[in-house]
Structure formats: structure tokens, C-alpha cells
């Protein structure tokens, strides 16, 4: 199973900025990605084609999208369909990111529709889950993660290929705050996600990658990636500069 080192650029970067960052990243990382790692760049929609051009045919790199609407096509003004992303060279897409759940109001059920639809359309899906600070303080981490996983995976076919499904544990209180979950908290949450994946998919559940996200930076990525059941990272702020994301990707 390859570790997945993912850069989520969120709503940052014009095309020129994205092109420069992607080019810088390729310069720093190409030819140095270990065989057991994959580097994923997830730019905003408007920069997908320029980043695709920079990453094209470079071994070890993949391209992903931050969102899509779960329909093949249709009268959905402002939305993007999975086929449009595949057409641009995307292999992956996110669903259930906390900013979409809590800023854009996406429900557990809608996230579940996206995961199943994206997989069926041929995208590899990264289902994001994670608790808010008040939920952690109330001792509800497992309940929240279980609810989001159950809903997020409810329509996925049981014989899903485990390489095409990824779960990202991103505690909401650690996103963009400089706070990271401690190693014991990460190990506990990832162990719980693994248990749930095994309960759902049997042995195949061991092959679904589980990423950690939330204030990952060059200084902590080596430790995080070494924790049991951490199969990669999903990086926001520290992925915006080529140098810092290159350091994380190669940590």
C-alpha cells in the first residue's frame, strides 16, 4: 500500500500561482519520490488544467479535485461532474471535507451520495471525517466518526477495490489552527477507523488508506506518518509553498 501525501490547496492560487507552485514542487520532488509513496495535488477547479500539465507523466504524482456534484451531467448551475474531472486528468476527489460540511452545510447523506457516485464514475474517493472541539470535549469522537463513516460509505458497493477508497481523519479543531492531535489521539482515532473498515470490508479494510489532516507541517510530518494506521497526510496551509510541501512529501 503506497502512502498518500496529499496537498489540498483549498480556495487559493490563480492559474499562474498554481503553475509556479506545481513547477517548483516537481523540481524539488520528481525523481525522489520513494516507490512506496504517491504525491497528490488537489488544486481549485480553475487551476486543474495548468497543474495537470505540470504533473503530466511525472512518476509518483497524481491530480485530484476538491469537490463535484453527484450526477453525470444536467441542470446543476455552478457544479462540476466527475467526468469533467476525469477529462482533466483527475484520479482522486475529496468528499466530506469539514469546510464543506460546516461552512457549506453538506449533510452526511449528501457526502455519502458523492462517495458512491464518484467511485462508480471512476474516481478514487477520499472521504473526510472528524469531530469538532465541542464533540471531542464531550467524549463523542467515536460517535461522530462512526456516524460520518457509516453515512459516507453506506452506498459504496461491498466489493469496492480498497485502493480506490481513502478515509481522511481531520479533527476540525486541528484544521488551520496550528494545533495537531497528539500521537496518542491520532493512533486512537485511526485505530477506530481501521476497526470500522474491517467490520465493513473484512481483510480488505486493512488496505484502505487512512490519512491524517490538521496542521501537518514539515516539523511534525515525520512523526505523524510513523504512527500506526497512518497511511498518509492531507495538508492544507503547509502545502501552499512548494518547499514546505516537498519537505512533507519526502519526510
Q: Name residues whose C-beta falls within 8 Å of residue 182's C-beta, 6 or more positions apart in sequence.
A: none
User: Max alpha carbon distance in the chain (Å)?
Assistant: 48
Footprint of ligand 13P on 14-73 (CB under 6 A) = none
Residues marked active site are found at 97, 170
Stretch that binds ligand 13P, among 47-55, 77-85, 103-111, 229-237 (CB under 6 A): 229-237
Closest to ligand 13P by CB, 83 or 176: 176
Residues 6 or more apart whose CB falls under 8 angstroms from that of 219 comprise: none
Between 44 and 214, name the residue whose CB sits nearer to ligand 13P.
214
In the bound state with ligand 13P, the residue whose beta carbon lies nearer, of 22 and 126, is 126
String of contacts with ligand 13P for each residue 157-196, x by CB under 6 A: -------------x----xx--------------------
**What ranges in 65-216 are assigned the alpha helix state H?**
82-87, 98-102, 108-121, 133-137, 141-153, 183-201
* Residue 244 found at the interface with ligand 13P (CB under 6 A): no
C-alpha to C-alpha distance for 215 and 180, rounded to whole angstroms: 6
Q: What is the DSSP letter of 199?
A: H
Which of 215, 221, 229, 244: binder of ligand 13P (CB under 6 A)? 215
State in angstroms the smallest separation of the CB of 237 from ligand 13P. 3
Of 43, 64, 118, 214, the residue at the interface with ligand 13P (CB under 6 A) is 214
Distance CA 13, CA 46 (A): 9
Residues contacting residue 24 through CB under 8 Å, at least 6 positions apart: 242, 243, 246
Per DSSP bridges, beta strands 165-169 and 209-213 are: parallel
Residue 112 or 236 with smaller CB distance to ligand 13P: 236
Burial zone of 76 (CB within 10 Å; 0-12 exposed, 13-18 middle, 19+ buried): exposed
Of the residues 8, 62, 148, 229, which one makes contact with ligand 13P according to CB under 6 A: 8
- Rule CB under 6 A: is residue 229 a binding residue for ligand 13P? no
Which residues contribute to the site for ligand 13P (CB under 6 A)? 8, 97, 170, 175-176, 213-216, 234-238
Amino acid at each position: 500500500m503506497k502512502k498518500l501525501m496529499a496537498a489540498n490547496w483549498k480556495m487559493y492560487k490563480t492559474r499562474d500561482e498554481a503553475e509556479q507552485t506545481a513547477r517548483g514542487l516537481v523540481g524539488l520532488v520528481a525523481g525522489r519520490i520513494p516507490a512506496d509513496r504517491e504525491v497528490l495535488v488537489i488544486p481549485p477547479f480553475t487551476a486543474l488544467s495548468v497543474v495537470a500539465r505540470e504533473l503530466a507523466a511525472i512518476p509518483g504524482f497524481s491530480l485530484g479535485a476538491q469537490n463535484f456534484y453527484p450526477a453525470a451531467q444536467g441542470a446543476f448551475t455552478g457544479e462540476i461532474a466527475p467526468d469533467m474531472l476525469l477529462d482533466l486528468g483527475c484520479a482522486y476527489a475529496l468528499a466530506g471535507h469539514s469546510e464543506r460540511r460546516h461552512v457549506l452545510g453538506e449533510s452526511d447523506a449528501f457526502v455519502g451520495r458523492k462517495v458512491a457516485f464518484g467511485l462508480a464514475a471512476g474516481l478514487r474517493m477520499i472521504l473526510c471525517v472528524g469531530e469538532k472541539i465541542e464533540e471531542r470535549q464531550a467524549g463523542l469522537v467515536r460517535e461522530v466518526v462512526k456516524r460520518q463513516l457509516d453515512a459516507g460509505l453506506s452506498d459504496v458497493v461491498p466489493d469496492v477495490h480498497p485502493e480506490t477508497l481513502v478515509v481522511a481523519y481531520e479533527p476540525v479543531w486541528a484544521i488551520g489552527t496550528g494545533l495537531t492531535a497528539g500521537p496518542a489521539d491520532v493512533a486512537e482515532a485511526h485505530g477506530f477507523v481501521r476497526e470500522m473498515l474491517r467490520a465493513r470490508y473484512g481483510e480488505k479494510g486493512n488496505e484502505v488508506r487512512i490519512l491524517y489532516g490538521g496542521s501537518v507541517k514539515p516539523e511534525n510530518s515525520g512523526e505523524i506518518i510513523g504512527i500506526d494506521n497512518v497511511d498518509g497526510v492531507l495538508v492544507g496551509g503547509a502545502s501552499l509553498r512548494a518547499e514546505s510541501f516537498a519537505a512533507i512529501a519526502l519526510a
